[in-house]
């Protein structure tokens, strides 16, 4: 067992180079100490840097004010525990946490244990660690266990580095982790009426950016077919105009709260502009072309409304394409958030507010409604 000044950073495996770049920008001198598995990086601070004594706190402070796009989750490493890869590892990790990390837990705040076991061949899984450690910590500290909305988190990551099995352990405030979910992996239950996997992308965006869909509000869904985002908007009580030349899922066709315009978004623009509370865009287009299209819909977004869209990125030159798309969007919107979420693949989800030139030049700095 040893003290550590490491950070575990989680991201989309295809974007680990960009997430590492973000970490180095926020934490000058930071370096990659090890790749625990694709998309799970062990970050070490630069020697002699001002943040070297508490690099996690320094990184969390920067990203609290300016969240990264590609890094999805971070966790501190306060202890590194040598493991044997057998069933007794559960007791080893439980005892290490109880002895060394429990004193860091604020008994007045709720906590949860978020465990990851990266090797697949071990005789225990995250549930075993979560159960054993949470029971021991609750008994030792008297803090309340709250798995859904904890205020503080004990992070446990089991990984093999250079042939040695190790447990990386740390305690943090959940607000410092970028996500309240283990590794930023936001899970949703699949519903019987679900139309497509893309529904999870919108649900995660609403949760991440803390957006509220207003019942009886008006929503515009561009590139709607087969209707996953339309279903989520409609389930919240909104009236939805779904624009797509393709058919919607049969379960949506007879919903009187959905108006299906079987045409392209460009053709739909030729009609009379009408105000919407929400504009959604998950179209399979080049990110720059999709952003230019969104500019033409800026006057259709009501003051106080918001837009959510995905920007599809190519394999090469991703950062250049993303920067260009965001520059285009800023011509008429405020880019209030941009993140590569767990349910994104080669894309970024962007949250937009009306900008300075929308609505006859009136600046609308209103925040979207939040929960």
Q: Any idea which residues carry the catalytic annotation?
A: 312
Our measurement of the distance from residue 167's CA atom to the centroid of its chain's CA atoms, rounded to an integer in Å, reads: 25
Which residues lie below 8 Å from residue 320, measured CB to CB, with a gap of 6+?
Answer: none
Measure the CA–CA gap between 174 and 184, rounded to whole angstroms.
11
- Per DSSP, what are the bridge partners of residue 222? 243, 281
Measure the CA–CA gap between 179 and 294, rounded to whole angstroms.
28
- Collect contacts of 32-39 with beta carbons under 8 A, ≥24 apart: 33/6, 34/161, 34/162, 36/8, 36/118, 36/157, 36/159, 36/161, 37/118, 37/159, 38/13, 39/10, 39/11, 39/12, 39/13
Residue 227: which H helix or E strand, with range? Answer: none
């Amino acid at each position: 067992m040893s003290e550590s000044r490491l950070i575990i950073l989680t991201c989309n495996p295809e974007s680990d180079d960009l997430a590492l770049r973000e970490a180095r920008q926020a934490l000058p001198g930071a370096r990659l100490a090890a790749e625990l598995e694709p998309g799970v990086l062990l970050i070490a601070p630069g020697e002699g840097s001002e943040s070297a004594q508490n690099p996690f706190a320094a990184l969390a402070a920067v990203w609290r004010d300016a969240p990264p796009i590609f890094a999805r989750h971070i966790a501190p490493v306060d202890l590194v525990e040598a493991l044997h890869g057998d069933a007794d590892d559960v007791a080893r990790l439980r005892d290490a946490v109880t002895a060394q990390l429990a004193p860091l837990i604020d008994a007045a705040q709720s906590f949860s244990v978020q465990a990851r076991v990266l090797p697949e061949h071990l005789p225990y899984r995250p549930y075993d660690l979560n159960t054993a450690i949470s029971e021991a910590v609750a008994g030792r500290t008297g803090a309340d266990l709250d798995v859904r909305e904890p205020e503080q988190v004990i992070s446990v990551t089991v990984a093999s580095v250079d042939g040695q099995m190790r447990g990386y352990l740390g305690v943090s405030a959940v607000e410092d982790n970028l996500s309240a979910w283990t590794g930023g992996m936001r899970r949703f239950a699949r519903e019987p009426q679900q139309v497509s996997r893309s529904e999870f992308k919108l649900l995660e965006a609403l949760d991440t950016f803390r957006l509220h869909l207003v019942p009886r509000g008006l929503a515009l869904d561009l590139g709607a077919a087969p209707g996953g985002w339309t279903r989520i908007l409609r389930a919240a009580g909104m009236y939805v105009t779904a624009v797509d030349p393709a058919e919607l899922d049969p379960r949506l066709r007879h919903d009187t709260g959905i108006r299906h315009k079987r045409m392209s978004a460009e053709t739909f623009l030729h009609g009379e502009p009408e105000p919407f509370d929400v504009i959604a865009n998950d179209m399979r287009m080049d990110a720059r072309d999709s952003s230019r299209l969104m500019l033409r819909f800026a006057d259709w977004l009501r003051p106080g409304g918001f837009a959510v869209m995905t920007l599809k990125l190519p394999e090469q030159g991703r950062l250049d394409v993303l920067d260009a798309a965001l520059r285009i969007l800023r011509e008429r919107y405020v880019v209030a958030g941009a993140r590569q979420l767990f349910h994104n693949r080669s894309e970024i989800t962007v949250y937009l507010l009306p900008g300075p030139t929308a609505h006859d030049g009136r600046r609308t700095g209103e925040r979207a409604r939040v929960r």
